Amino acid sequence: MEPKKKTYKIGILGAGGWGTALSITLNDNHHSIKLWTYEDYIADEINKQHTNSIFLNGVAIPENVIATTKISELKDSDIFVIAIPTQHIRSVLKSKNLPRIKDKIILSVAKGIEKNTLMRVSEVITNTIRLPFEQFVILTGPSHAEEVARKQPTTVVAASESISNAKEIQTIFMTPYFRIYTTDDVIGCEIGGSLKNVIAIAAGIIDGLKLGDNTKAALITRGLAEITRLGVAIGANAITFSGLSGLGDLFVTCNSKLSRNRFVGEEIGMGKSVKEIQKSMEMIAEGIYTTESAYFLAKKHNVEVPIIEQMYHILFKGKKPSKAIEDLMTRQSKREWWW
């Protein structure tokens, strides 16, 4: 008989699809969950109807999951989960009512690179609240919130410079349908999880233009090469990009109908502008912001990323996707290489 698992009080910052899905998973492991959201109407729906129709439609939320709009009510949490879009993390962490969290494990499930600063999420958090880096853990991999919430088998990776903290997150979150591996390559996991969204927008463009499997296979393969090159230049382990946070996340995001980033690309491929698409979406597609950040990050580190570069010109300079594809296909011939 297995020993009874320790239970925790867990505060989740962000009641979007992913934050809500993780509250369900954590509840299955008998942890006490408080879910913070900025919007009153979302908190009311979760507490009264036990649903989150905007971000996780059709999924029942356990009655034990409590939502609040008062961030101070998370003060008794043993562990904090950051499930906020990357571009809003810094402002939330600067909230005057934020509980003391710098001596707790901080788990991030956000995937992105901050605009202007070009910081990864770990850097944003440790910079904003002066958190010791080993207390930071990232949970990432091929994991659509909709599928996790419906308890479909999913496998992800927990990364931290402190393997003991990564293993603690592994124990806290792991269920028969949610399997977690561990690693100490935080940089690789963050870069893989962020940049795959840029490639996923490109994959959507291919779908919108009704191009074939050959085109998408080339995109995924060469996109992974670019992600790997940039990651290694920053300090990641190259082999990480063959794992769940690299190839696994890239594959699912480029091919799934559930992917917001792939959807954005598909709409662009069918002729819509980025502004039109953003205006019609309730949820944020992180890949739009990450494209700009990745473009300038590659410039900073002098790394060649032709696909990311063309995506930057499509999203921010109005370049036609057909012209971008032509420019990629007619680049100077060279050998295949990775990093």
Q: Specify the pLDDT at position 4.
A: 61
CATH architecture of 9-184: 3-Layer(aba) Sandwich (3.40)
pLDDT at 2 over 60: no
Domain with CATH 1.10.1040.10 in the chain: 188-329
**Which of 18-32, 33-47, 92-106, 286-300 is the least confident region?**
92-106
Instruction: Tell me how far apart the alpha carbons of residues 64 and 72 are, in angstroms, rounded to a whole number.
Output: 19
Q: What is the pTM of this model?
A: 0.94
Active site residue 196: yes
pLDDT at 311 over 90: yes
Cβ neighbors of 207 (< 8 A, separation 6 or more) are 216, 262, 265, 266, 269
C-alpha pair distances (Å), 101 with each of 97, 98, 132, 160, 165: 11, 8, 11, 17, 15
pLDDT at 238 over 70: yes
Instruction: Tell me how far apart the alpha carbons of residues 320 and 330 are, in angstroms, rounded to a whole number.
Output: 16
Domain with CATH 3.40.50.720 in the chain: 9-184
Strands 79-82 and 154-159: unpaired
User: Is 82 within 8 Å of 110 (Cβ atoms)?
Assistant: yes
Give the homologous superfamily in CATH for domain 188-329: N-(1-d-carboxylethyl)-l-norvaline Dehydrogenase; domain 2 (1.10.1040.10)
Give the pLDDT confidence of 16-67 residue by residue, as tens digits: 999 999 999 999 999 999 999 999 999 999 999 999 999 999 999 999 999 9
Strands 105-108 and 66-68: unpaired
User: Is 54 within 8 Å of 282 (Cβ atoms)?
Assistant: yes
C-alpha pair distances (Å), 216 with each of 207, 210, 252, 260: 8, 10, 13, 17
Strand partners, 180: 156
Catalytic residue among 48, 94, 196, 300: 196
